[in-house]
Every structure is written in C-alpha cells, then in structure tokens.
Copies of this chain bind each other. A is one copy, B any other.
C-alpha cells in the first residue's frame, strides 16, 4: 500500500480567482466565499492539467498506484506575507475547505491543514484554524512555513519561543507538522522552489540545536524534500555532536523526512543517513516533477519507482517506507 504524505491540492480556478479578488479589494468585499462547489472540485481533480504533463491529478494517482495521499494547500499560494491578516485567514480557511471537499470527493485523500501564518497575528491565533481542521474536518496534520514573511524580513529562528504556541497545539491535537515554506518575494535571491530547500536546511539545523525537542518530547516533525542540504552536508555538524557526546546521525533521527527528492541516489543517501524508519514516502505529485524524462519514459516524480529500484531495501523496509511509518506517525487506519 502506498501512502504518499506529500501532495498538494489541485483546486479549481475559482479558488485562485477568489484569492486574486482578496488581494485586490484587501477585504473591502468581506470574507465572502470562493464559490467552489463539489462539482468544481471533481472537475478540477479530473481535468488534464497543462502544468502537470496534461494529465489529471487523479490519473497521476492512478498511474502511480497511490492508495492514500495527504493533500495540503499549494504552498506557494499561501500568501502568508499579505496584509491585512484577515486576507490570510480567509484564504487559508477557503483553501482548507476545498481540501475537505477533495477528501469527500475521493476517499484516497487525507487533509493536511494550512494555517493563517500572518505575522500580524500571534502564532496562538494561527492554531484556531488548525483546531478547526483537525477537530471538524478530520485533517491529519498541518504544514508549517518557517518564513511567514516570505523573504521580506527575517522571521524568528525556529528555535525561538515565538513558535511555542504552535508546538503546544500540535502536541495537544497529537498531529505532526510538515515543514514546508511558502512563497518568496523580492528582494530575496531565490525562487520559491529553492526557498523550500533553504528553509528546510535552516529548519533541521535550527531544531536540532534548540531546546524545542526537549521541551516538546511528543512533537512530531516531518521535513519535506529530504531535509534540504543537511543530510548531504552532515559532516559539517559532526564536531559539535561529538563534543556533546553523541553523533549527528542520532540527532538527525529526532525528525522525520519525506522522500521527495526525484533521484534514486539522493533517496538512497537519505535512507542510509537517517534510517528507513525515519523516512516517509512523499511525491509532491502532481507538481514540479510531473514532467516525463524522455530517456526513461518515467515521470520525474515517480518516486515509488525510484524506491522500488533500490535493491538493498528489504520488503519490510519498503512496507515501512510506503505505509507503516506514515500510518503510525499520522495515526492513519489502513
């Protein structure tokens, strides 16, 4: 069974037209409603998508044999840095509602909540929407953007007490956070996509050198895209770990990582560095990787095939990677 922990919602144009409206009237027209209906959702999920190799979201799942996919908001659409904060609150709620509609439309989906991470709000206020999603909509986790300023200013480091209300809510609700940044605005030098990697690098390093995991021993964190640069650059952190009487690999194992890396050697590298038991199958499918490699004929985001190709994995390893690790961490009944 394939549980893909890293999917994003494929929403109808109506949701984004609603967003464009919010950014234009800045709240003058009120919260209103995106107008998205079940019909729109079903159409969007089945529509061949030009950005996704002209194949629909559901067909992508069919082709890859995904049994369960977690879907969260498209991160780059989250607009956490927009003002006033109510725009962020409204759009996040509408997006989570569309995700809920998708879950209703196709039983393969499980919802992962976005939070209205406006820096004009206190993080405790962000968690109201998280509670709604988990308690009312049955979502299984949340994405966490470590840079709500989206590149405009430096946010508090991930180890800062600023973030504690989020950790508290996650522990209380007993759901994991998936680290995944959102957009990235000028004057930052990177695109949003590279920003994901940079933020994941900061998140892993920041969490492991902070007291967060001591203060919240039950906190469950999944880092997207295989942990940014850290596994590959791990040697740089060996001396400090040695001085502290441990190894950096041990430290790395306090977090979980998804396999959303698009190359077999990178995935192998991750698995060997942090251990199979710390990794979760994740594809971001359909998405950036939904392009066919002319040489192999595969979709670049056919991560299940890359994992199947790794010959040294046991059946138990594969079951853990594809199913059990995620099922246990997110308490999914399979």
Contact = CB atoms under 8 A, between A and B. Distances in A.
A264 to B, nearest CB: 9
A279 interface: no
Nearest to A186: B83
Contacts of A197: 201, 229, 233, 236
Most buried by B among A192, A225, A236: A236
Contacts of A242: 291, 293-294, 300
A275 interface: no
Interface residues of A, number: 75
A229 to B, nearest CB: 3
B225 A236 contact: yes
Contacts of A51: 29
Interface string A270-289: 00110000000000000011
B235 A263 contact: yes
Contact of A232 (B15, B19, B183, B226): B226
B289 A154 contact: no
B26 A186 contact: yes
Contacts of A46: none
Contacts of A68: none
A107 to B, nearest CB: 27
A79 to B, nearest CB: 7
A17 B13 contact: yes
Q: Which 8 pairs from chain A and chain B are nearest by CB?
A: A235-B262, A229-B229, A232-B232, A16-B20, A28-B191, A16-B17, A13-B17, A154-B187
Interface of A: 12-17, 19-21, 23-29, 35, 50-51, 74, 76-77, 79, 83-84, 154-155, 157-158, 183-194, 197-198, 201-202, 205-206, 225-226, 228-229, 231-236, 238-239, 242-243, 261-263, 265-266, 269, 272-273, 288-289, 291, 293-294, 300
17 contacts: A13-B17, A16-B20, A16-B21, A24-B79, A25-B183, A25-B192, A26-B192, A83-B186, A189-B206, A193-B236, A194-B201, A197-B201, A201-B229, A225-B233, A226-B233, A229-B233, A265-B272
